[in-house]
Amino acid sequence: MLLAIDAGNTNIVFAVFDGAQQKGQWRIATDSRRTSDEYAVWLVSLMAMRGLRPVDVTRSILSSVVPAATFNLAKLCRDHFGTDPMRVGDPSVELGIKNLLRNPREAGADRLVNAVSAGASYPKPLIVVDIGTGTTFDVINADGDFLGGIIAPGPQLALDALHKVAAQLPKVEIVRPEQVIGYGTISAMQSGMFWGYLSMIEGLITRIKAELSPTGTPPVTVVTTGGLGSVFAQATHMIDHIDSELTLRGLRLIYERNATT
């Protein structure tokens, strides 16, 4: 079986695949101080609840945007599962798509994984909107290659920053207000975060489409993923697909592409 690890700035997600079938998925808050042994105690216990044992894992793949956590995650694979992980971003790992950034090294591993996964699952060209700690718009052309995109702060990050620097503004949760006009501080903040971010998402999708496919032919498919992807997608007609499994499926696909070469 394959152990896939997606290490993001907020959470680290682990999944075990038996072929294309996902046997289990678990997430833990990202903490670069956590050791490989600590990961193992937590993960092995949860795997056991699904009837999975460490010896069942014979392969692993790792995507990380948190360099300080990468070492211990790789050590987890080697010491507790007996497998040296394939690492997205390593020059020896073939993605099956071209990275067309002017400096290809600048592309985050998660963005490349999402590009691979979306290109294999949906009609191209594509925009992948990943709404998490950051909000990223990844653009895939008609050939399935990664063109680049846009990076902005995520809604929760912006909300936390607003609370931190403005003494009289409370910490509020992200919800969809029924009205755009807020009739109190909390409702005004929630409207700004939700409707403001949704307007940004819709505006940037419109501008990207105009650059990527000026005539509208071929049409551009828009996919969203990430922790808050579904929250915003349900309030707009501009997102075609919600795909919470996009990154993990991409990791499995990248491993399979390289395992046969």
Which residue positions form the known binding site for substrate? 108-111, 185
Which of 82, 75, 36 minimizes the C-alpha distance to 56?
82
As a whole number of Å, the CA-based R_g of the chain is: 19
Both tokens of 196, joined, read 């403001």
**Catalytic residue from among 56, 79, 84, 110:** 110
Which residue positions form the known binding site for K(+)? 130
Both tokens of 68, joined, read 């300080």
Reply yes or no: is the peptide bond before residue 218 cis, omega within 30 of 0.
yes
Report the SS3 class of residue 60: strand
Q: Residue 12: enclosing H or E segment and its boundaries?
A: strand 11-18
Which residue positions form the known binding site for ATP? 6-13, 133
Residue with tokens 């990527």: 212
Output the CA–CA distances (angstroms, integers) from residue 255 to 7, 107, 146, in the order listed. Answer: 16, 19, 18
110 catalytic, yes or no? yes
The whole-angstrom separation of Cα 140 and Cα 130 is: 14
Catalytic residues: 110
